Amino acid sequence: MNIAIILSGCGNCDGSELQETLSLMLAFDRRGWSYQCFAPEGAYNVFDHRTKKPTGEQRDLLQEASRIARGDILPLADLDISDYEVLAIPGGMGAARNLSNYATAGTAMTVRHDVEQAILDAYSQHKAIVAVCIAPMLLAKVLGPHHITLTLGHPCQASQDAEALGAIHQCCEVTQCCADEKNRIYTAPAYMVGTRISEIFAGSENLVAKLEECEL
Protein backbone atom coordinates (compact mmCIF):
# COMPACT_ATOMS: atom_id res chain seq x y z
CA MET A 1 0.00 0.00 0.00
CA ASN A 2 0.98 3.60 -0.54
CA ILE A 3 0.21 6.04 2.27
CA ALA A 4 0.03 9.84 2.36
CA ILE A 5 0.91 11.17 5.84
CA ILE A 6 -0.06 14.71 6.82
CA LEU A 7 2.25 16.23 9.43
CA SER A 8 1.57 19.34 11.48
CA GLY A 9 5.00 20.49 12.61
CA CYS A 10 7.44 18.77 14.96
CA GLY A 11 6.73 18.09 18.64
CA ASN A 12 3.75 17.11 20.73
CA CYS A 13 2.92 20.62 22.05
CA ASP A 14 2.78 22.40 18.69
CA GLY A 15 3.21 19.83 15.93
CA SER A 16 3.10 16.13 15.15
CA GLU A 17 3.84 13.91 18.16
CA LEU A 18 7.10 12.20 17.27
CA GLN A 19 6.56 8.87 18.99
CA GLU A 20 3.09 8.49 17.51
CA THR A 21 4.31 9.50 14.05
CA LEU A 22 7.35 7.25 14.05
CA SER A 23 5.40 4.27 15.39
CA LEU A 24 2.97 4.60 12.48
CA MET A 25 5.84 4.90 10.00
CA LEU A 26 7.50 1.82 11.49
CA ALA A 27 4.30 -0.23 11.35
CA PHE A 28 3.83 0.76 7.70
CA ASP A 29 7.45 0.05 6.80
CA ARG A 30 7.47 -3.36 8.50
CA ARG A 31 4.85 -4.42 5.97
CA GLY A 32 6.83 -3.11 3.03
CA TRP A 33 4.33 -0.30 2.45
CA SER A 34 5.57 3.03 1.17
CA TYR A 35 4.62 6.43 2.50
CA GLN A 36 5.08 10.06 1.54
CA CYS A 37 4.92 12.86 4.08
CA PHE A 38 3.15 16.15 3.40
CA ALA A 39 2.63 19.29 5.45
CA PRO A 40 1.00 22.66 4.92
CA GLU A 41 3.18 25.71 4.43
CA GLY A 42 2.89 28.78 6.63
CA ALA A 43 3.83 30.13 10.04
CA TYR A 44 2.71 28.66 13.35
CA ASN A 45 3.27 29.57 16.99
CA VAL A 46 6.09 27.68 18.71
CA PHE A 47 5.75 26.19 22.22
CA ASP A 48 8.53 25.49 24.71
CA HIS A 49 8.23 21.74 25.24
CA ARG A 50 9.64 22.00 28.77
CA THR A 51 7.23 24.63 30.08
CA LYS A 52 4.36 23.82 27.66
CA LYS A 53 3.99 27.56 27.05
CA PRO A 54 4.23 29.61 23.82
CA THR A 55 7.61 31.22 23.18
CA GLY A 56 6.37 34.06 20.99
CA GLU A 57 8.40 32.62 18.10
CA GLN A 58 6.94 31.52 14.79
CA ARG A 59 8.28 28.85 12.44
CA ASP A 60 7.20 27.33 9.14
CA LEU A 61 5.08 24.18 9.33
CA LEU A 62 6.64 22.47 6.33
CA GLN A 63 10.20 23.21 7.43
CA GLU A 64 9.60 21.90 10.94
CA ALA A 65 7.75 18.79 9.75
CA SER A 66 10.68 18.03 7.45
CA ARG A 67 12.71 17.21 10.57
CA ILE A 68 10.53 14.15 11.17
CA ALA A 69 10.59 13.09 7.53
CA ARG A 70 14.38 13.53 7.22
CA GLY A 71 13.72 16.11 4.51
CA ASP A 72 11.61 13.78 2.37
CA ILE A 73 8.43 15.83 2.47
CA LEU A 74 6.20 17.71 0.04
CA PRO A 75 3.87 20.69 0.42
CA LEU A 76 0.31 19.60 1.16
CA ALA A 77 -0.74 21.55 -1.94
CA ASP A 78 1.01 18.84 -3.98
CA LEU A 79 -1.08 15.99 -2.57
CA ASP A 80 -3.20 14.12 -5.09
CA ILE A 81 -4.99 11.54 -2.98
CA SER A 82 -5.79 9.44 -6.04
CA ASP A 83 -2.13 8.36 -5.98
CA TYR A 84 -2.53 6.77 -2.53
CA GLU A 85 -4.57 4.06 -0.84
CA VAL A 86 -4.45 5.54 2.67
CA LEU A 87 -4.47 9.00 4.23
CA ALA A 88 -2.84 9.06 7.68
CA ILE A 89 -2.78 11.88 10.24
CA PRO A 90 -0.68 11.35 13.39
CA GLY A 91 -1.54 13.05 16.67
CA GLY A 92 0.10 15.87 18.55
CA MET A 93 -1.30 19.29 19.35
CA GLY A 94 -0.33 20.47 15.88
CA ALA A 95 -3.53 18.75 14.73
CA ALA A 96 -5.49 20.90 17.18
CA ARG A 97 -3.49 24.12 16.73
CA ASN A 98 -2.12 24.12 13.17
CA LEU A 99 -4.31 21.82 11.08
CA SER A 100 -7.36 23.16 12.91
CA ASN A 101 -8.18 25.54 15.74
CA TYR A 102 -9.83 22.92 17.96
CA ALA A 103 -7.47 23.76 20.85
CA THR A 104 -8.99 27.23 21.17
CA ALA A 105 -12.42 26.95 19.51
CA GLY A 106 -13.73 23.59 20.69
CA THR A 107 -16.78 22.45 18.75
CA ALA A 108 -16.80 25.80 16.90
CA MET A 109 -13.54 24.66 15.32
CA THR A 110 -12.55 25.05 11.71
CA VAL A 111 -10.14 22.83 9.80
CA ARG A 112 -7.60 24.30 7.41
CA HIS A 113 -9.08 24.27 3.93
CA ASP A 114 -6.25 22.19 2.42
CA VAL A 115 -6.49 19.61 5.21
CA GLU A 116 -10.28 19.51 4.99
CA GLN A 117 -10.05 19.01 1.23
CA ALA A 118 -7.59 16.14 1.62
CA ILE A 119 -9.95 14.41 4.07
CA LEU A 120 -12.99 14.99 1.84
CA ASP A 121 -11.11 13.77 -1.24
CA ALA A 122 -9.98 10.62 0.57
CA TYR A 123 -13.48 9.91 1.82
CA SER A 124 -15.18 10.54 -1.53
CA GLN A 125 -12.65 8.32 -3.31
CA HIS A 126 -13.21 5.53 -0.74
CA LYS A 127 -9.66 5.65 0.56
CA ALA A 128 -8.82 4.38 4.03
CA ILE A 129 -8.21 7.13 6.60
CA VAL A 130 -6.03 6.67 9.68
CA ALA A 131 -5.96 9.17 12.56
CA VAL A 132 -4.27 8.91 15.95
CA CYS A 133 -4.61 10.62 19.34
CA ILE A 134 -6.34 14.02 18.96
CA ALA A 135 -6.27 13.92 15.14
CA PRO A 136 -9.65 12.11 14.95
CA MET A 137 -11.19 15.46 15.93
CA LEU A 138 -10.39 16.62 12.40
CA LEU A 139 -12.43 13.71 11.05
CA ALA A 140 -15.25 14.44 13.48
CA LYS A 141 -15.48 18.00 12.17
CA VAL A 142 -15.17 17.19 8.47
CA LEU A 143 -17.01 13.84 8.34
CA GLY A 144 -19.24 14.05 11.42
CA PRO A 145 -22.39 14.47 9.32
CA HIS A 146 -21.71 10.95 7.96
CA HIS A 147 -21.90 9.62 11.56
CA ILE A 148 -18.47 8.04 11.39
CA THR A 149 -17.24 5.94 14.31
CA LEU A 150 -13.90 6.85 15.90
CA THR A 151 -12.00 6.77 19.17
CA LEU A 152 -10.33 9.36 21.34
CA GLY A 153 -9.70 6.81 24.07
CA HIS A 154 -11.69 7.10 27.27
CA PRO A 155 -14.72 9.38 27.69
CA CYS A 156 -13.39 12.96 27.88
CA GLN A 157 -14.14 16.46 26.68
CA ALA A 158 -12.80 15.64 23.22
CA SER A 159 -15.03 12.55 22.92
CA GLN A 160 -18.04 14.65 23.93
CA ASP A 161 -17.07 17.27 21.34
CA ALA A 162 -16.69 14.62 18.63
CA GLU A 163 -20.18 13.33 19.38
CA ALA A 164 -21.55 16.88 19.33
CA LEU A 165 -20.14 17.17 15.80
CA GLY A 166 -22.02 14.05 14.71
CA ALA A 167 -19.41 11.32 15.17
CA ILE A 168 -19.98 8.13 17.18
CA HIS A 169 -17.35 7.63 19.89
CA GLN A 170 -16.02 4.19 20.75
CA CYS A 171 -14.04 3.80 23.97
CA CYS A 172 -10.62 2.19 23.55
CA GLU A 173 -7.60 1.41 25.69
CA VAL A 174 -4.18 2.56 24.55
CA THR A 175 -3.26 -0.60 22.63
CA GLN A 176 -6.70 -0.97 21.04
CA CYS A 177 -8.06 0.63 17.89
CA CYS A 178 -11.41 1.53 16.41
CA ALA A 179 -12.23 0.28 12.93
CA ASP A 180 -15.19 1.85 11.14
CA GLU A 181 -15.12 -0.59 8.24
CA LYS A 182 -18.16 0.93 6.55
CA ASN A 183 -16.50 4.33 6.25
CA ARG A 184 -12.95 2.90 6.10
CA ILE A 185 -11.79 4.98 9.07
CA TYR A 186 -9.22 3.61 11.53
CA THR A 187 -8.35 5.45 14.74
CA ALA A 188 -6.32 4.82 17.89
CA PRO A 189 -6.02 6.76 21.17
CA ALA A 190 -2.22 6.75 21.66
CA TYR A 191 -1.24 9.45 24.17
CA MET A 192 -4.86 10.43 24.77
CA VAL A 193 -4.69 7.58 27.29
CA GLY A 194 -1.16 6.16 27.03
CA THR A 195 1.80 6.95 29.28
CA ARG A 196 4.61 4.79 27.86
CA ILE A 197 6.26 4.68 24.45
CA SER A 198 5.90 0.88 24.35
CA GLU A 199 2.12 1.31 24.57
CA ILE A 200 2.17 3.79 21.68
CA PHE A 201 4.15 1.42 19.46
CA ALA A 202 1.87 -1.50 20.38
CA GLY A 203 -1.22 0.57 19.64
CA SER A 204 0.10 1.67 16.26
CA GLU A 205 1.05 -1.88 15.34
CA ASN A 206 -2.44 -3.12 16.24
CA LEU A 207 -4.02 -0.25 14.31
CA VAL A 208 -2.03 -0.96 11.16
CA ALA A 209 -2.64 -4.71 11.55
CA LYS A 210 -6.38 -3.98 11.58
CA LEU A 211 -5.98 -1.75 8.52
CA GLU A 212 -4.14 -4.59 6.76
CA GLU A 213 -6.82 -7.11 7.75
CA CYS A 214 -9.68 -4.97 6.48
CA GLU A 215 -8.16 -3.36 3.41
CA LEU A 216 -6.04 -6.13 1.87
- Which residues belong to the active site? 133
* CA–CA gap between residue 75 and residue 179 (Å, rounded): 29
Count CB-CB contacts under 10 A for residue 7.
Answer: 30
Q: What pairing do the DSSP bridges indicate for beta strands 43-48 and 53-60?
A: antiparallel
Contact in structure between 76 and 66 (CB atoms under 8 Å)? no
How far from chain centre, in Å, is Cα 136? 6
Contact in structure between 174 and 20 (CB atoms under 8 Å)? no
* CA–CA gap between residue 38 and residue 35 (Å, rounded): 10
Which residue type, as a one-letter code, is found at position 211? L
